[in-house]
Amino acid sequence: MQDNAAKTPVTGKARPHESAPLHVTGTAVYTDDIVAPAGCLHAYVLKSPHAHAKVLSIDISACYIPGVHAVMTAKDIPGVNEVAPVFTGDPVFAEGEVLYAGQSVLAVAAESIDIARRAAHLAKVEYESLPAILDVHEALKQQKFVGDPYVMKTGDAAAALKSAPHRISGTLDIGGQDHFYLEGQIALATPHENGEVHCWSSTQHPSEVQHLIAKVLAIPDHLVTVEVRRMGGGFGGKESQASLIACVAALLARKTGRAVKFRLDRDDDMIMTGKRHGFHIKYDVGFDAQGRIQAMDMLQLVDCGMSPDLSNAIADRAMFHADNCYYLPHAVVTSYRCFTHKVSNTAFRGFGGPQGMLAIEYVIDDIARHLALAPDAVRRANFYDAMHARKDRAVTHYGMDVEDCIIADIFDRLEKSSAYKSRVAGIEKFNAENPVLKRGIAMTPVKFGISFTLTMLNQAGALVHVYKDGSVQLNHGGTEMGQGLHTKVSQIVADVFGIPFDRVRITATNTSKVPNTSATAASSGTDLNGKAAEAAAHTIRGRLAEFAAQQTGDVPPQDVKFADGMVTAGSKSWLFRELVNLAYMNRISLSANGFYKTPKIFWDRAAAKGRPFFYFAYGAAVSEVVVDTLTGEYKNLRTDILHDVGRSINPAIDIGQIEGGFVQGAGWLTSEELWWDAKGILKTHAPSTYKIPTGRDIPPDFRTALYDGENIEDTVYKSKAVGEPPLMLGISVFLALRDAVARAGVPMPKLSAPATPEAVLRALNGHGGDI
C-alpha cells in the first residue's frame, strides 16, 4: 500500500499506520529508547506490603549506599503531595497511612535500577496493620464510597415492575482487567535552567502531567513541558495514572539536578496501577410475553479502589450504557462508587460502558431463557426505534433522543452474512450428536455514546506550519498509542491542501505547542483533533487561496482548487510548493492554529438528564464456541463482526481497531482473571498468572466488515469514533459460552465474568456464580 503518488484525496483510503515501518523494524522510539542524557539516574519506588496500615515511622538512613543520589518521602515534596486527576486522594508518597498493597511509600534515585531497588528495600518502615475493606459488599455495609451514589431514572419502575406479566431478578459479578499495554508506565524527566522541567512521559494526557508536575514542584505550569512521541499502548491506563510515574521522575530530577528515568517493570506496573473496575450487578426486570422490557431496576456496585481517580465518570458511563440498544420505558439505575483498600481503578477502553452493557445483555439473555425464546428475537423486540420511524421508543433513560439508531439494520445484515440461522440449526445437530462437546452461539449488539461525558473536555487545538518547501508540520493535542490517530489526522490535513500523505508530518505531542488539551480518550481523538487540525489547515489554505486568486484575477478565492499536489486558480496552476514559496516571498503567514468544540452536547447532572453524547457508534458480533463439558475448556471457533465507523477515514486502521478491540474485550470476559488474596495482595501480577489473549485465542475464522454508512452529525469526513466501541463486541463470546452451557442442559446458567474454564465448569455443574 505504498502511496507516494500525488493522487488526492487520501482520506477514505486504506493505508498503513504512519509508523508501521518503524514498528516492524524496531526503530520506533518509545520513551525507554530515547537516548538518555549524561548522568541519567534511575528511580525505584518502595511499595506498601499492606492493604491498609498506619505508617508509624520511616527511617531512610540505611538507603544511602554507593550510587544513591536521592531518597524522597512525602515530606520532601516541595509542592502538594497529590496527583489526583479530578478530586483528591492520590498522594505521590503515602503519608501517615497506606491504603493499598503496592502504594508508593518512598523513592530512590540511583545510578542503576539495581542499586535503586536495593537501596529502597533498605528503608525501615514500621506499619501497624489495620482492617481492610476488600470488596464492594463490605464497602456498602460500611457506607464507604469515593463519590456520592447516583441515580438515573425514567418513568415509574417500581409500579411497572409490579404490573409486568413476567418478572425475574438476579445478580452478576463482573471482573476487572489489567491494561497490559506492551510498553509499561515510564517517564524521563530532565531539569533545566531557572527551575524548568522537561518530561518525556508515556501518557494519554500530557497537559495533566504538565499540570501535576508543576503542582508537586510548586512551580507554574509554564516552567513544565511534557512531550509524547508515542505510547506502546495506553488503553485508558495512561489517562490519569501516568502522572504518578512522571511526577516521581520530575521530583527526583529536580532534587538531584540530573535526568531521571522511572520505568515500572511488569510486576510493579500490575501491582501499582489501577485496572478496569470490577462490578457487582443486581437486577429486577419486568417484561411481556415477547420479552419486551417494561421496567428495569438495576443496581451497580462499582469497585473503585482507594481513591476517586476517574471512578465517578466511569460509574456514570456504566449507567449511561445500562440500556445498550434497548428502550427502557420505566427504569431506575442506581450506582454506588465503593471504596476498597485496593489500587485505585481507572479508565480502561469503554470507560465503564462495557460493564453496563454486559449487565443488560445478561438480563436480555435471562429474559429469553425464561420465556424459551430465541435471544436474538428478544434483542430485536427491545431495540430502540430509529427516530424517523417511531419517536416514542427512541429516548434513553437519561432523556437523550436516539436519533441515529441503525442497530436493527446491522443485525439484519450480520444475521445474513454470518448465516446465523442455519448455524443455529447446525449447532443443535452437533450437540445432539456429541455427548461431551457442546457448541453455543450469540449475536450481540453495541451502541456506544461518543463524547466525554464531562462536556468541558470536548475541545481540542492544533498548530499547523507550512514550510517554504511545501512540507507541512503539524501538532495537535492528541497522543498516539497505536490507534492510528496521527495517520488519520495527517490524511485529513493532506486533503485540505491537496497534497500527498507523506508531505505531512506530525511531531511529538508537546504541551508547549498546543496547551490545555484533554486526554486522548473517550474514542474522540480523531473527532476532536481532526477537526481542530482541519480548521488550522483551512486558515492557511484560505490565505493561500486569496493570494492565488489575486495572482490571476480569474476566480474568487473560494474557487481556487487544491488537488493532486497542485493549486489552480482559473487559468493558472502551481505546484503546491511553488505557490507556498511565492506566498512566503509575499509575506503571507504560513502558520495557524485551530480549535474545535463539540456542538449540541449538554448534561444536567442534578436532574440526570441531557444529551451527553454527540452521537452513537453501533456494531454487532456473532461468536460460536465449543465447550468441553468435562473440563470447562472451550474455544471460540468463529466470529463475524459488522461495525459502524460512519464514513471510514482509513478502513485498514478501522478494521485493526475493531479486531483488536474485540479480542481485548473477549480476553476481559474469558481468560483475564485478577485475583487478590485474603489480605488484599494481588497475586496475578505477571503473564504467568494473568492470561491475556494471544494469537491462538483469535478465532480461526474471523470476519470483520465495516457497515456502509455515514455519520448523520457533522463530524470530520462524516466518520465515527472507533477506539472503544468494538471492545464490547467481545460480549458475544461470553454469551456464546453461556449459551453452550445452557445447551448442555443447565437451563438458566449462572456465569460470572470472566468465564474462565473453571467458571464455565462451575456453571455446567449448576453453581456458576459462587466461588
d(CA 175, CA 155): 31
d(CA 138, CA 134): 7
Residues 311 and 277 sit within 8 Å (Cβ to Cβ): yes
**Which one of ligand MTE, ligand HPA, ligand MOS, none is in contact with 453 (Cβ closer than 5 to 8 A by kind)?**
ligand HPA
In single-letter form, the type of residue at position 516 comes to N
Phi, psi (deg, nearest 5) at residue 133 = -95, 120
Which residues, 707 to 726, sit near ligand MTE by CB under 6 A?
721, 723-724
Q: How many residues bind ligand MOS (CB under 6 A)?
A: 10
Phi, psi (deg, nearest 5) at residue 609 = -140, 150
d(CA 348, CA 335): 18
Q: Residue 19, interface with ligand MTE (CB under 6 A)? A: no
Nearer to ligand MOS among residue 228 and residue 253 (C-beta): 228
Nearer to ligand MOS among residue 175 and residue 236 (C-beta): 236
Residues 376 and 415 sit within 8 Å (Cβ to Cβ): yes
Query: Near ligand MTE by CB under 6 A, which window of 72-80, 88-96, 253-261, 517-525?
Result: 517-525
Q: Residue 309, interface with ligand MOS (CB under 6 A)? A: no
Q: Could you give the string, one character per residue 265-304, with x where binding to ligand MOS holds by CB under 6 A and - elsewhere?
A: ----------------------------------------
C-alpha grid cell for residue 567?
A: 493549486
Q: Residue 349, interface with ligand MTE (CB under 6 A)? A: yes
Phi, psi (deg, nearest 5) at residue 436 = -100, -50
> Residue 196: which residues within 8 A CB-CB, separation 6 or more?
223, 224, 225
Question: 409500579: which residue's cell?
Answer: 159
C-alpha grid cell for residue 250?
A: 520530575
Rounded to the nearest whole angstrom, what is the least distance from the CB of residue 608 to ligand MOS in the complex? 22
Which residues, 704 to 763, sit near ligand MOS by CB under 6 A?
724
Rounded to the nearest whole angstrom, what is the least distance from the CB of residue 206 to ligand HPA in the complex? 15
Q: Residue 537, interface with ligand MOS (CB under 6 A)? A: no
**Which one of ligand MOS, ligand HPA, ligand MTE, none is in contact with 317 (Cβ closer than 5 to 8 A by kind)?**
ligand HPA
Q: Residue 524, interface with ligand MTE (CB under 6 A)? A: yes
Number of neighbours of residue 392 by Cβ within 10 angstroms = 8
Q: Residue 241, interface with ligand MTE (CB under 6 A)? A: no
Longest dimension (CA), the chain: 84
> Residue 353: which of 325, 385, 387, 384 has the closest Cα?
325
Q: Residue 521, interface with ligand MOS (CB under 6 A)? A: yes
The string of DSSP codes covering 589-633 is --EEEEEEE--S-EEETTTTEEE--SEEEEEEEEEEEEEETTT--
Q: Residue 577, interface with ligand MOS (CB under 6 A)? A: no
Nearer to ligand MOS among residue 522 and residue 763 (C-beta): 522
Q: Could you give the string, one character per residue 237-256, with x where binding to ligand MOS holds by CB under 6 A and - elsewhere?
A: --x-----------------
Nearer to ligand HPA among residue 475 and residue 520 (C-beta): 520
**Which one of ligand MTE, ligand HPA, ligand MOS, none is in contact with 475 (Cβ closer than 5 to 8 A by kind)?**
none
**Which one of ligand MTE, ligand HPA, ligand MOS, none is in contact with 454 (Cβ closer than 5 to 8 A by kind)?**
ligand HPA
Q: Residue 347, interface with ligand MOS (CB under 6 A)? A: yes
Query: Near ligand MOS by CB under 6 A, which window of 154-162, 345-353, 370-378, 420-428?
Result: 345-353
Nearer to ligand MTE among residue 167 and residue 647 (C-beta): 647
C-alpha grid cell for residue 458?
A: 470536548
d(CA 664, CA 204): 19
Q: Residue 525, interface with ligand MTE (CB under 6 A)? A: yes
Residues 315 and 335 sit within 8 Å (Cβ to Cβ): yes
> Residue 310: which of 344, 266, 268, 359 has the closest Cα?
344
d(CA 233, CA 578): 40
Nearer to ligand MOS among residue 239 and residue 739 (C-beta): 239
**Which one of ligand MOS, ligand HPA, ligand MTE, none is in contact with 511 (Cβ closer than 5 to 8 A by kind)?**
none
3-class secondary-structure state, position 640: strand
Rounded to the nearest whole angstrom, what is the least distance from the CB of residue 459 to ligand HPA in the complex? 13
Q: Residue 318, interface with ligand MOS (CB under 6 A)? A: no
**Which one of ligand MTE, ligand HPA, ligand MOS, none is in contact with 308 (Cβ closer than 5 to 8 A by kind)?**
none
> Rounded to the nearest 5 degrees, what angle is found at the Cα of 188, between the Cα atoms of 187 and 189?
115
Residues 310 and 240 sit within 8 Å (Cβ to Cβ): yes
C-alpha grid cell for residue 174?
A: 463482573
Among 249, 481, 496, 649, binds ligand MTE (CB under 6 A): 481
Residues 9 and 495 sit within 8 Å (Cβ to Cβ): yes
d(CA 203, CA 480): 9
3-class secondary-structure state, position 280: strand
Q: Give catalytic residues, as residue numbers.
A: 724
Element containing residue 639 per DSSP (H, E): strand 634-643
Nearer to ligand HPA among residue 344 and residue 756 (C-beta): 344
Q: Residue 236, interface with ligand MOS (CB under 6 A)? A: yes
**Which one of ligand MOS, ligand HPA, ligand MTE, none is in contact with 525 (Cβ closer than 5 to 8 A by kind)?**
ligand MTE
Nearer to ligand HPA among residue 256 and residue 458 (C-beta): 458
Q: Residue 355, interface with ligand MTE (CB under 6 A)? A: no
Alpha helix segments (H runs only) across 32-132 = 113-120
Angle formed by the axes of helices 353-371 and 375-382, to 10°?
120
Q: Residue 351, interface with ligand MOS (CB under 6 A)? A: yes
Nearer to ligand HPA among residue 322 and residue 625 (C-beta): 322
d(CA 7, CA 4): 8
Residues 14 and 491 sit within 8 Å (Cβ to Cβ): no
Q: Residue 180, interface with ligand MOS (CB under 6 A)? A: no
Nearer to ligand MOS among residue 134 and residue 521 (C-beta): 521
Q: Residue 208, interface with ligand MOS (CB under 6 A)? A: no
d(CA 634, CA 602): 45
Phi, psi (deg, nearest 5) at residue 747 = -60, -40
Query: Near ligand MOS by CB under 6 A, which window of 342-350, 466-474, 489-497, 697-705?
Result: 342-350
Query: Near ligand MTE by CB under 6 A, which window of 121-129, 187-195, 229-237, 585-593?
Result: 229-237
**Which one of ligand MTE, ligand HPA, ligand MOS, none is in contact with 526 (Cβ closer than 5 to 8 A by kind)?**
ligand MTE
C-alpha grid cell for residue 659?
A: 479486531
Q: Tell me which residue has its CB nearest to ligand MTE.
A: 525
C-alpha grid cell for residue 712?
A: 448523520
Q: Residue 483, interface with ligand MTE (CB under 6 A)? A: yes
Query: Near ligand MTE by CB under 6 A, which window of 217-225, 253-261, 264-272, 518-526?
Result: 518-526
CA distances from 527 to 221, 387, 719, 722 (A): 27, 24, 8, 10
> Residue 8: which residues within 8 A CB-CB, separation 6 or more?
494, 495, 498, 499, 500, 563, 564, 565
3-class secondary-structure state, position 726: helix
For ligand HPA, the binding residues (CB under 6 A) are 239, 310, 313, 317, 347, 351, 452-454, 457, 519, 521-522
Nearer to ligand MOS among residue 376 and residue 527 (C-beta): 527
d(CA 697, CA 721): 26
Q: Is 23 exposed, middle or buried (0-12, 13-18, 19+ CB in 10 A)?
A: middle
Nearer to ligand MTE among residue 16 and residue 233 (C-beta): 233
Q: Residue 204, interface with ligand MOS (CB under 6 A)? A: yes
Among 15, 117, 349, 643, binds ligand MOS (CB under 6 A): 349
Residues contributing to the site for ligand MOS (CB under 6 A):
204, 236, 239, 347-349, 351, 521-522, 724
Residues contributing to the site for ligand MTE (CB under 6 A):
233-236, 349, 481-483, 485, 520-526, 657, 660, 721, 723-724
